[in-house]
Amino acid sequence: MNAPATTELPVVVIGAGPAGLAAAVHLVDQGIEPLVLEAGRTAGAAVREWSHVRLFSTWGEVVDPAAEKLLAPTGWTRPDPATYPSGGDWADRYLQPLADVLGDRVRLGAAVTGVSRSGRDRIVDAERERQPFVVHVAHADGREERILARAVIDASGTWATPSPAGGSGLPALGEKAAADRIGYRVPDLKDPAVRARYAGRRTAVIGSGASAFTALADLADLAGSGDGEGTKGVWILRRGISGSTFGGGEADQLPARGALGLAAKAAVDEGHVDAVTGFRTESIERDADGRLILVGEDGRRLDAVDEVIVLTGFRPDLSFVDELRLGLDERLHAPVALAPLIDPNQHSCGTVYPHGHRELSHPEQGVYLVGMKSYGRAPTFLAMTGYEQVRSVAAAIAGDLDSADRVELTLPETGVCGGAGLFDTPDVQQPDGDGGGCCGS
């Protein structure tokens, strides 16, 4: 095809979530036309799927400053910066208004199925960098489209690709066949239909992070309620229980995070949850009644459960960017220059150094993975970090390297890696807003 000059083309942004919409705003600030492609039918479609989960981050930490300036002429005002939104609040009160202001620059129901260089697969060197990117899109109405772009910012996140129950990083044997009784998200137990699924039943929770704490605390609350008699949780831990298993507790600088860990501990101590330690799931079998039996790599067979909630993290979907030359760390699937800065063995949210276009660059010039997707399998992402990423990337695309290289973010000393707190619990003292927090479940 005869392609227009690359500088006349838009920058395609994949995903209309927090990082993707912020990227579009910063591109507009640079005088560059963005085109945001969102697979869902609304802005923040993935965030809406955990609308019942409350963030540890305050409103002051989840609104991009440039986006706030763009919204201001519409009469939009940021909610109290010291309060904590739920995922639904974040989507309804910030992401959707921002998408509305961006207007036709945001296309919904547009799933990106592939990205490459126009006329070049990944093995062709000749004049590669002179070719625009070509983005293949499948629309909700069945149409297919090819869009040329001067650069691509992939902010599609990791929500759609949760990690499996299997202890080796692969699905356990029988996991797919048991899909009717397995969930990979924190269930909304305020929803009557969801509540009925777990009430009075035995549920295994696999995972050791904040999402697992949330599910355990919610199951314990259900067990103590009038309609939840007989509800029992089984907490599956791949490691043993130590002093750090439940987080910082009362010593945590963020009381809500500490309260969440204490609630999970109370669920175990009060007998609502049984903890099974050192268990790596190898297979999932059904008994004669259709209930699930977890079998460990060490041969242990647990008593049957009615449901399994797998909360073992998320991983990036790299299938549609496979024709691009990406430089990814072999462990985290994060950009190679970023991986050492976010290694969860060494860092929490608050100890990740602010970073930008240089750490996010790849051998394929002009393509950037940002937001949650840039972290690969690392769980320590902050919304503020994502906003700084896209500010830097937009400046780099515009050729303003002075701005792109300048750090314009000071991270809090303490970070929360994961979402969901007990903010609806009356006796939990809420933080005063001086701590940081991750945003996600």
Give the mean pLDDT of 36-60.
94
Give the mean pLDDT of 200-225.
93
All residues at 6 or more sequence positions from 177 whose CB lies less than 8 Å from its CB, including other chains? 284
- φ, ψ of residue 102 to 5 degrees: the values are -70, -20
- Higher-confidence residue: 102 or 343? 102
Q: What is the reported pLDDT for 240?
A: 74
Q: Is the model's pLDDT at 421 over the cut of 50? A: no
Share of the chain above pLDDT 70, in %: 86
pLDDT band at 211 (very low <50, low <70, confident <90, very high): confident
Q: What is the reported pLDDT for 422?
A: 43
Q: Is the model's pLDDT at 72 over the cut of 60? A: yes
What's the number of CA atoms in the CB half-sphere (13 Å) around residue 267?
28
| Distance from C-alpha of 129 to C-alpha of 45, rounded to nearest angstrom | 33
Hey, what's the torsion of the CAs at 71, 368, 104, 67, to 10 degrees? Answer: 0
The partner residues of 382 in beta bridges, in order of sequence, read: 438
pLDDT band at 27 (very low <50, low <70, confident <90, very high): very high
Give the mean pLDDT of 64-77.
96
Quickly count: other Cβ atoms within 10 Å of residue 242's Cβ.
8
pLDDT band at 42 (very low <50, low <70, confident <90, very high): very high
Q: What is the reported pLDDT for 157?
A: 97
| Distance from C-alpha of 139 to C-alpha of 110, rounded to nearest angstrom | 5
pLDDT band at 426 (very low <50, low <70, confident <90, very high): very low
| Residue 232 in tokens | 């029992």
pLDDT band at 408 (very low <50, low <70, confident <90, very high): confident
Tens-digit pLDDT profile for residues 312-353: 999 999 999 999 999 999 999 999 999 999 887 775 555 667
Mean pLDDT, rounded, of the chain: 88
Q: What is the reported pLDDT for 241?
A: 72
Least confident of 13-27, 178-192, 199-213, 245-259: 245-259
Least confident of 77-81, 114-118, 234-238, 379-383: 379-383
Q: What is the reported pLDDT for 432?
A: 33
Tens-digit pLDDT profile for residues 114-163: 999 999 999 999 999 999 999 999 999 999 999 999 999 999 999 999 99
Q: What is the reported pLDDT for 412?
A: 53
pTM of the shown model: 0.89
Question: Degrees (nearest 5) of the Cα angle 399, 403, 408?
Answer: 150
Q: What is the reported pLDDT for 425?
A: 45
| Distance from C-alpha of 398 to C-alpha of 393, rounded to nearest angstrom | 9
In contact, 186 and 233? CB cutoff 8 Å? no
All residues at 6 or more sequence positions from 222 whose CB lies less than 8 Å from its CB, including other chains? 189, 195, 198, 199, 228, 231
Count each helix (H run) and each strand (E run) in the chain, helices first.
13, 15
DSSP string for residues in 329-378:
-TTT-SBTTTHHHH-TTT--GGGSPP--HHHH--SSTTEEE-GGGGGTT-
Tens-digit pLDDT profile for residues 228-273: 999 999 999 988 776 555 555 544 444 455 567 788 888 888 999 9
Q: What is the reported pLDDT for 166?
A: 97
| Residue 188 in tokens | 């909304």
